[in-house]
């Protein structure tokens, strides 16, 4: 019977305690919720994510465009076209037949490895970016001799349908223009 | 502290006395009520249905606190009408507390996951001021570290002291050991200019920069070779006079010390 008494007895303080706990929980919820909102809507975070997306796509595309196996030329050139857009894409498509013939004749296998890469400019809204990719290209000739060559690539990226693709690619010029 | 409570208890007792002559329900369920009340919270009826059965029993239990006469324990034993009203807010508060607490925990973990995103830790480009500061300082350091003028060899030493730290000191010495001896002999002027650079990452006081640089070397004095060198030597000399350009690519790790960035590592990609 004493239990029956005790249960309702604490109701008022219990209610107060419960109210305080609820308020504290509410405060916490408001605070963490606001922090979460701020974290999720942080502009620089979105920009950083886009930078990393552009870099990953750019490095992959530059590597793709420096990789070609004479035994699988068509496959390789399809990948080239898939990695590019705009003017560069058109250039590759136009010169495809001629280039494929050259590679088949030379019987070379070209592979590339990205040593380092970084975005230099990123226009998040316009969907344009520039990047530097330090590349080591290995060319293997039919007599199994392979040569390494380092390339200082400059790339231009354009976002099309949410995908970053190369719209320009070249090597950094040496001398002359450097001082000019 | 006890005063308001006492007051409340008195009020309640008074009201209870007024209700007493007319119990809302027969006193029969009283013993069962006491037994069931313990089972109540644990019973499978659930949070929302819980309070309902209690309401009817409340009046039955009421006479007991009256008889016990313990003022501290009594206060809950209110009249029939008060019971359900008091329980419902309590349960609502409990549920609210759990929901809000749960949300707080979840929001905290979501925010934490977002903040721990490695993309966010890297402030290259997202912090334009620091990015250009790192680029500018790197270009300055590279130009000083990889240039050499035979007329002022002290400047080269000075650059090493001003821009290098840690293992980069040794790396720089190794890289330049051969070049230096030759340059001193040929009275060369080696000029290094950064043509392109990009910041790979900035993480607080550390950064990594990819650098493309052009190096020109001009030999001002005729090489100390026998004059009978012939046409070949002459052509070489001419080329040196015009300057020999070479492109280089490497990455440098820089650290911020006392407000200035120092080169800590030079990565020539295994070359």
Q: How confident is the model at residue B68 (pLDDT cuts 50, 70, 90)?
A: very low
What are B152-172's pLDDT values in tens digits? 888 888 899 999 999 999 999
Q: Best of B16, B107, B122, B200 to disrupt the A interface by mutation (most A CBs within 10 Å)? A: B107
Residue contact A28–B120, C-beta within 8 A: no
pLDDT at A100: 93
**B residues 73..102 contacting A (CB < 8 A):** 73-78, 83, 86-87, 89-90, 93-94, 96-98, 100-101
Q: CA A122, CA A2: separation in Å to the nearest integer? A: 74
pLDDT at B267: 95
Q: CA A170, CA B156: separation in Å to the nearest integer? A: 33
What is the CATH number that goes with domain B123-267? 3.10.450.230
- B209 vs B118, more confident: B209
* pTM metric for this prediction: 0.68
pLDDT at B83: 58
Beta bridge partners of A146: A140
pLDDT, averaged across chain A:
89
pLDDT at B152: 87
pLDDT at B88: 84
Query: Are A129 and A157 contacting, i.e. CB atoms less than 8 angstroms apart?
Result: yes
**Which residue, among A102, A96, A162, A164, has the nearest Cα to A128 in the 3D structure?**
A164
CA distances (Å), origin A141, targets A65, A76, A103, A107, B178: 18, 17, 11, 7, 33
Q: Is the pLDDT of residue A117 over 80?
A: yes
How deeply is B74 buried, as exposed, middle or buried, from its count of CB atoms within 10 A (0-12, 13-18, 19+)?
Answer: buried
What are B16-57's pLDDT values in tens digits? 665 555 444 444 444 444 444 444 444 444 444 444 444 444
- Strand, helix or coil for residue A4: helix
**Residue limits of CATH 3.10.450.230 in chain B:** 123-267
- List chain A residues with CB under 8 Å of B119: 45, 48-49, 51-52
Q: CA A140, CA A131: separation in Å to the nearest integer? A: 27
Strands A163-171 and B148-149: unpaired
Query: Are A87 and A167 contacting, i.e. CB atoms less than 8 angstroms apart?
Result: yes
Is B225 an interface residue toward A (CB < 8 Å)?
A: no
Helix (H) or strand (E) segment spanning residue B196: strand B188-203
- List chain B residues with CB under 8 Å of A31: 104
What are A56-88's pLDDT values in tens digits? 999 999 999 999 999 999 999 999 999 999 999
- What distance in Å separates residue A14's CA from the closest CA in chain B? 8
Residue the block writes with tokens 């721990």: B116
- B203 vs B231, more confident: B203
Q: How confident is the model at residue A1 (pLDDT cuts 50, 70, 90)?
A: very low
Beta bridge partners of B168: none
């Amino acid at each position: 019977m004493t239990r029956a008494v005790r249960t309702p007895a604490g109701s008022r303080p219990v209610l107060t305690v419960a109210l305080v706990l609820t308020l504290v929980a509410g405060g916490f919820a408001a605070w963490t919720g606001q922090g979460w909102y701020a974290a999720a809507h942080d502009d620089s975070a979105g920009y950083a994510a886009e930078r990393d997306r552009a870099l990953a796509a750019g490095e992959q595309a530059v590597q793709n465009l420096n990789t070609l196996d004479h035994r699988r030329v068509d496959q390789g050139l399809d990948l080239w076209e898939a990695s590019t857009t705009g003017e560069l894409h058109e250039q590759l498509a136009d010169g495809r037949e001629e280039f494929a013939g050259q590679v088949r004749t030379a019987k070379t296998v070209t592979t590339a490895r990205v040593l380092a890469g970084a975005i230099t400019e990123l226009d998040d809204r316009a969907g344009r970016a520039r990047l530097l990719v330090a590349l080591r290209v290995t060319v293997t000739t039919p007599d199994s001799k392979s040569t390494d060559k380092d390339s200082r690539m400059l790339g231009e990226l354009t976002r099309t349908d949410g995908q970053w693709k190369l719209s320009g690619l070249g090597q950094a010029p040496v001398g002359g223009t450097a001082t000019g | 502290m006890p005063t308001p409570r006492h007051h409340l208890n008195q009020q309640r007792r008074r009201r209870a006395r007024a209700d007493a002559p007319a119990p809302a329900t027969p006193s029969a369920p009283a013993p069962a009520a006491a037994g069931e009340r313990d089972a109540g919270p644990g019973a499978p009826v659930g949070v929302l249905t819980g309070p309902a059965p209690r309401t009817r029993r409340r009046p039955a239990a009421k006479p007991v606190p009256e008889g016990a006469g313990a003022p501290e324990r009594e206060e809950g034993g209110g009249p029939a009408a008060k019971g359900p009203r008091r329980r419902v807010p309590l349960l609502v508060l409990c549920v609210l507390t759990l929901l809000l607490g749960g949300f707080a925990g979840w929001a905290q973990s979501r925010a934490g996951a977002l903040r721990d995103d490695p993309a966010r830790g890297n402030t290259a480009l997202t912090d334009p001021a620091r990015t250009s500061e790192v680029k500018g300082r790197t270009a300055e350091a590279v130009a000083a570290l990889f240039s050499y003028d035979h007329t002022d060899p002290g400047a080269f030493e000075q650059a090493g002291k001003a821009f290098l730290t840690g293992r980069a000191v040794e790396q720089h010495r190794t890289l330049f050991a051969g070049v230096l001896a030759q340059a001193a002999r040929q009275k060369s002027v080696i000029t290094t200019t950064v043509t392109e650079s990009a910041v790979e990452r900035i993480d607080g006081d550390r950064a990594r920069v990819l650098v493309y640089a052009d190096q020109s070397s001009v030999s001002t004095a005729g090489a100390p070779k026998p004059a009978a060198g012939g046409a070949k030597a002459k052509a070489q000399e001419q080329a040196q006079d015009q300057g020999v350009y070479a492109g280089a690519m490497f990455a440098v790790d820089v650290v911020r010390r006392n407000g200035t960035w120092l080169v800590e590592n030079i990565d020539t990609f295994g070359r």
